[in-house]
Amino acid sequence: MHTTTLHTVTGPLSYEAVRGPVLSHEHLVLDLDLKGDGGAILDAERHSTAVTSELVSLRDEFDLSLVMELTCRGMGRDPRALAAIARESGVAVVAATGWYYEPFHTPELTSASVEELACSLVREIEDGFDATGVRPGVLGEVGSHGDVPSEPETRSLRAAARAAVATGLSVATHAQLGRGGLAQLELLTAEGLPAHRVSVGHQDLLDDPAVHKELAASGAYVAFDTVGKENYQSDDTRLRLLLGLIEAGHADRALLSCDISRHGYLVSEGGQGYGHLFRSFLPRLRAAGVDDDLIDLMTRRNPLRFLTGASTEEI
């Protein structure tokens, strides 16, 4: 069973209206500034004009149609700013709910039960963020760090899975530096969430093809979602890992994105920008023999299947 409607920040959208590519893990507004140096910020007032300009350019040049914006609780989420960016850019935006990994947990994670946390998420999914009228369309980026989630991260993941089952949404995870994805998937599916409603994040930071193949074989989506972040991993390695996944027959499980999470990554500040995937990485994939149908699969059909729960035959 799947839905044909995406919940975007400007209202319902049929998946059939998404004719161009999707960025499956991005941030348009966020605040992760634990260090206090102002780096890990995309501020609505200071940076939204530059963010919007990049999206307009990508819409015009590559027909960018949708962005999954995975800024959740404790990450500086701003639904009104997201709605403004979506309207001004002409690019649909899906917002998220859930909790990031433990250093960014909000106070309710201190003592609330899995069921209490799940009910909180369901209320937000059904009623929207506060009084904004904006509803989330995905749970994410629900986080953990290390090979096994901590106790609060475990409750957060289990609550996200229960909320996903109750509402028909999917769950995108943050696996810190790519680690712990199999443990995340085990927790999520133990709550009754089908593997194809899960995207395991940051797998391009983990140089372990066996893990990628195991995740894909289970039916989960494998997110190569930090493309261009060369200080974490070279795109040469990302290319090798993704080609290995494709050659193993799992192109239908791959999701691609850039995870822009600092204002220094914006093109206006000399960074790689949201367009690095289209301008640099996809041409390298094509040069390696990946055809346009597979590119469309990984950049449009897979993210739509992930969001809606559709099968490979349905989209």
**Per-residue pLDDT reduced to its tens digit, 36-47:** 999 999 999 999
pLDDT at 314 over 90: no
Predicted pLDDT of residue 311: 82
- Tell me the two tokens of residue 43: 């501020």
Compute CA distances 245 → 206, 217, 248, 257, 265, whole Å. 13, 10, 5, 16, 27
pTM: 0.98
Tell me what the mean pLDDT of segment 122-145 comes to: 96
Q: Percent of the chain, pLDDT > 90? A: 96
Query: Would you give the DSSP letter of residue 274?
Result: T
pLDDT at 254 over 80: yes
Q: Distance between CA atoms of 133 and 143, rounded to whole angstroms?
A: 26
Contacts of residue 27, Cβ cutoff 8 Å, sequence gap at least 6: 42, 69, 70, 71, 75, 259, 260, 261
104: pLDDT confidence band, cut at 50, 70 and 90? very high
pLDDT at 48 over 90: yes
pLDDT digits (tens, 9 = 90+) for 155-214: 999 999 999 999 999 999 999 999 999 999 999 999 999 999 999 999 999 999 999 999
Predicted pLDDT of residue 63: 98
Contact 171, 164 (CB under 8 A): yes
Contact 184, 176 (CB under 8 A): no
- When the pLDDT of each residue in the chain is averaged and rounded to a whole number, the result is 97
Predicted pLDDT of residue 4: 87
Tell me what the mean pLDDT of segment 81-91 comes to: 98
Contact 25, 225 (CB under 8 A): yes
Contact 121, 157 (CB under 8 A): no
pLDDT at 131 over 80: yes
Count other Cβ atoms within 10 Å, centred on residue 65.
21
Predicted pLDDT of residue 1: 56
pLDDT at 2 over 80: no
Question: What is the side-by-side strand order in the sheet with 92-94?
Answer: 22-26, 66-69, 92-94
Which residue in the block uniquely carries the two structure tokens 């229960």? 162
pLDDT at 69 over 60: yes
For 36: left if phi > 0, alpha if psi spans -120 to 50, otherwise beta; the answer is left
SS3 state of residue 107: helix
Predicted pLDDT of residue 21: 98
Contacts of residue 218, Cβ cutoff 8 Å, sequence gap at least 6: 185, 189, 195
Radius of gyration of the chain (CA): 18
- Return the bridge partners of 291, or none: none
Tell me what the mean pLDDT of segment 53-60 comes to: 98
Contact 308, 301 (CB under 8 A): no
Q: Distance between CA atoms of 272 and 280, rounded to whole angstroms?
A: 9
Tell me what the mean pLDDT of segment 64-83 comes to: 98
Predicted pLDDT of residue 113: 98
Q: Distance between CA atoms of 219 and 306, rounded to whole angstroms?
A: 11
